[in-house]
Chains A and B, each alone.
Chain A
Amino acid sequence: MSANKHTISVLVNNQPGVLQRVSGLFGRRGFNIDSITVGASEEPGLSRMIIVTTGDENTLEQISKQLYKLIDVIKVNDLSSNPMVARELALIQINAEPKVRPEILGVVETFRASVVDIGPTTMIVQVVGDSDKIEAMVELLKPYGIRELSRTGVTAMIRGIVK
């Protein structure tokens, strides 16, 4: 079976050590983590983790079953089996001497990204989108010289109403 990228949503109790339990489980069972993001959910006391992983269908099934064995895990959803919205945020600090700024602003506008800081010789660009868009943005900004790059990892949600 072919290895595919999967985006999994894991609803967990907001307890100390939960992230360690989940990431530890992936590590020791040999499951891959491409990215993991955690934040509050719609319900107080519960957090939602979005994990992007690579594996075949059997691996995905085991990931889900093993996650359910953790007492603090309440719900596991494979988002990528449905139409979903996946977004990542990146902050990219680039060299930006005043003379090249208009050129950079052109790129930023086209990508519907934004400039969130301007220093004497640098700029921070904020871009939100799916991973491909971020990659494309990074590629375009590379020629100016990337001083620092920070990405959040993917957060995601299924479109429309899910049964």
Chain B
Amino acid sequence: MSVQTASTNQATGLLNGDLRDRLLKPDVISGSEMLLRSLLLEGVDTVFGYPGGSVLYIYDAMHGNPDFHHLLTRHEQGAIHAADGYARATGKVGVCIATSGPGATNLVTGIATAYMDSVPIVVITGNVPTSAIGTDAFQEADITGITMPITKHSYLVRDVHDLPRIIREAFHIASTGRKGPVLIDIPKDVSAAKAKFEYVDKISIRGYNPTVTPNKLQVDRLLKAVEKASKPLILAGGGVVYAGAGQQLLEFAEKTQIPVITTLLGLGGFPSAHKLWVGMPGMHGTYASNTALQNCDLLISIGARFDDRVTMKLDGFAPTAKVAHIDVDPAEIGKNVPTDIPCVGDVKIVLEQANQKAKPAKSEAWIGEIEGWKQQYPLRYKDSESELKPQYVIEMISETTDGEAIVTTDVGQHQMWVAQFYKFKHARSLITSGGLGTMGFGFPSAIGAQMAFPDKLVVSVNGDGGFQMCAQELAVCAIHNIPVKIVIINNQVLGMVRQWQEIIYDNRLSHIDLAGSPDFVKLAEAYGVKGLRATNKEEARKAWQEALNTPGPVVIDFVVRKDENVFPMVQAGTTLDEMLLGDYE
């Protein structure tokens, strides 16, 4: 695998040196060349994409360009999930390119995934020439219209002169405030047209001024509430990770002595080995986290948006708590849960300010109480010698990597087991589709993460269902020797659907059997990727060790017990204290 990282300015993220001077020349160039130059100037070192008729000028400009690194996926969905994984792993903006019509619509799932999880992505789509727009031309789709509800902003470029400014704005919008995907739709004639390249250094967008510095009075109110509280609780979400505020959160929690629960996207935002960490809350959260939520007297949500998978039935959520909400997006405050202390701003800056004056809460007894719940009801499962348990596989991966790997997951039971049984130490070490719950996300997002960090261990944990939604990207791993360790938790069913049908739909198992799946070892081998299989604990350990010792990509098919369920479980429509505890009961 070869990845070239252009030297970039730490402060601005923009490119340094000779290349920058060369790129900034006010030459008369095509829109396509402008796009490439602008991307390089934005510090983009890798883009993921798939060519087609409407982007041929852009791909032509890439030909022989030694500065530009493009990775050809096998499906546009693979490209955008890879760009997403790249963005989540690095915090930088991910970029993907697709052609008009079907190329663009194949991105829709990935754009929605990034939108729901506030991931900065710039999506470049081609479109038919401006003269043909609106005529139902070949491969025409109104992609700006289609994606309007799932982008932070979008552009349809009508004039090549606007292109450098638009790209600059797109990167700015994607990566500031509440981050998110921005789409730039470039008609074919615009990518062909020539104009003088004028790169704007400064941008100002009148309707866009995210509030990053909080109102001091609100921070003071928060601190006063902390001092008065005897059962305070921090709910930390993806916003902590995205703002790079892990250190500030740790300091705040320690100074105030407040226990911390982290949402799925917040995992890694607070070290899981810390004594103040309680676990993940919500539908498959820990007993201690959910019980703490239902009994706290002050709930401080930090960069979390009270998703319904966390709150469950809103009426009855955290019934005794005063709610403080820190978020960079003002629209999140009061959206789902009434807020007593709103605090709009960048999570990192808010916490830095709070840390200056933070005093401890009277939380000693409360911490003891939570510790009791943790002891009484830890996450556990009934292990088996005859069958391989999925939880065992995750524990094994967690122990052998010691929390130092980047783990991506797909969606379903295995995702929840990773959330429960992998011990996360670092921010950005879990890459998972939280908001949209996108099957097919896990594997390609790992390719993006690995491209960003060629030397890190990247483990992609998938179910046998979701893996088959983007399995074709094995070709990309093979051809570029991208050393992702692709774990399949193979239970031969749509596990989470089966679990719901079993528990909620009276065990009427409907269309969940994945019989007819390929032999995943042979599938891997067909792509030129090493394939391994394990059906018991010993084989599992052996296969996993062999995978770790293999320098390239490996698929490991862990054939696990079919009927395993994820517990605890809170059913939709009920409150957090109505947990099904599975093996405890």
Contact = CB atoms under 8 A, between A and B. Distances in A.
A69 B145 CA distance: 17
B207 A74 contact: yes
B138 interface: no
Contacts of B208: 71
A13 B331 contact: no
A71 B331 contact: no
Given A71-B152, A71-B207, A74-B207, A65 B173 contact: no
The A interface, classified by DSSP as helix, strand, loop or mixed, is: helix
Q: Among B144, B156, B205, B207, which residue has the most Cβ atoms of chain A within 10 A?
A: B207
B206 A74 contact: yes
B330 interface: yes
A152 interface: no
B148 A13 contact: no
Interface stretch (A15-23, A95-103, A108-116): A15-23
Contacts of A25: 149
Contacts of A62: 331, 334-335
Given A16-B156, A58-B334, A71 B145 contact: no
Interface in B302-334: 329-331, 333-334
Given A13-B207, A62-B335, A66-B331, A71 B148 contact: no
Interface in B170-191: 173, 178
Q: Among A16, A28, A68, A71, which residue has the most Cβ atoms of chain B within 10 A?
A: A71
B153 interface: yes
Nearest to B144: A17
Given A21-B148, A24-B148, A69 B331 contact: yes
B330 A65 contact: yes
B31 to A, nearest CB: 19
Contact of A72 (B207, B329, B333): B207
A126 to B, nearest CB: 34
Given A17-B148, A24-B149, A71 B335 contact: no
Contacts of A70: 153, 207
Interface string B185-214: 000000000000000000001111000000
Contact of A69 (B144, B205, B329): B329
A137 to B, nearest CB: 38
A17 B145 contact: yes
Nearest to A28: B149
A65 B325 CA distance: 15
Contacts of A74: 206-207
Interface in A15-59: 16-17, 20-21, 24-25, 28, 58
A17 B206 contact: no
A135 interface: no
A73 B144 contact: no
Nearest to A65: B331
Contacts of B331: 62, 65-66, 68-69
Nearest to B145: A20
Interface string B229-255: 000000000000000000000000000
Given A13-B206, A17-B144, A20-B148, A71 B153 contact: yes
Chain A's interface size range is: 20 to 34
A61 B148 CA distance: 22
A68 B330 contact: yes
Interface in B115-161: 144-145, 148-149, 152-154, 156
Contacts of B178: 69
A17 B331 CA distance: 22
Contacts of B207: 12-13, 70-74
A28 B150 CA distance: 11
Nearest to B149: A28
A74 B144 CA distance: 21
Interface in B265-324: none
Contact of B173 (A12, A13, A21, A71): A71
Contacts of A61: 334
Interface string A73-87: 110000000000000
B402 to A, nearest CB: 40
Contacts of B148: 17, 20-21, 24
B107 to A, nearest CB: 18
B111 to A, nearest CB: 15
Contacts of B144: 17
A10 B144 CA distance: 22
A71 B205 contact: yes
A98 to B, nearest CB: 47
A58 B339 CA distance: 12
Nearest to A24: B148
Nearest to B154: A17
Contacts of B145: 17, 20
Contacts of A73: 207
Contacts of B153: 70-71
Contacts of A65: 330-331, 333, 335
Contacts of A58: 334
A66 B333 CA distance: 11
A105 B178 CA distance: 59
A66 B335 CA distance: 10
A20 to B, nearest CB: 6
Contacts of A21: 148
B410 to A, nearest CB: 27
B450 to A, nearest CB: 33
7 contacts: A17-B148, A17-B154, A17-B156, A62-B335, A66-B331, A71-B207, A71-B208
6 nearest CB pairs, A to B: A65-B331, A71-B153, A74-B207, A71-B208, A66-B331, A65-B330
Given A28-B149, A71-B208, A74-B207, 8 more contacts: A17-B148, A21-B148, A24-B149, A62-B335, A65-B333, A68-B330, A69-B152, A70-B207
